[in-house]
Amino acid sequence: MPAAKIGLPGYSGGMVLRRTPHAVYDTLYHLVWSPKYRRDVLQGEIQQRLRELFTDIAEQYDITLEEMEVSPDHVHIFCSFPPRYSIAQVVTRFKSLSARAIFREFPRIKRPTRQGRREAPSRGARDSHARGD
Say what the pLDDT of residue 23 is: 84
Nearest 5°: phi and psi at 24? -120, 130
Of 49, 39, 33, nearest to 109 by C-alpha is 39
Let me know if residue 80 belongs to a domain.
Answer: yes
Q: Examine residue 75 and state whether it is found in any structural domain, yes or no.
A: yes
| 3 within a domain of the structure (yes/no) | no
Q: Would 19 be classed as within a structural domain?
A: no
Label residue 3 by pLDDT band (50, 70, 90): low
Q: How far apart are CA 27 and CA 19, in angstroms?
A: 11
What's CA 61's distance to the chain center, in Å? 12
Rounded CA-CA distance 31/80 in Å is 10
Task: Using a pLDDT cut of 70, give the percent of the chain over it.
Answer: 73
- Which pLDDT band, with edges at 50, 70 and 90, does 113 fall under? low
Query: What is the per-residue pLDDT across 27-57, written as a single tens digit (0 to 9) for each?
Result: 899 999 998 888 889 999 999 999 999 999 9
Please, are residues 27 and 16 in contact by the beta-carbon 8 Å criterion?
A: no
- Angle CA 29–80–68, to nearest 5: 70
Structural domain for 66, as ranges? 28-112+120-131
CATH value at residue 104: 3.30.70.1290
CA atoms within 13 A on the CB side of 56: 10
Count of structural domains, the chain: 1
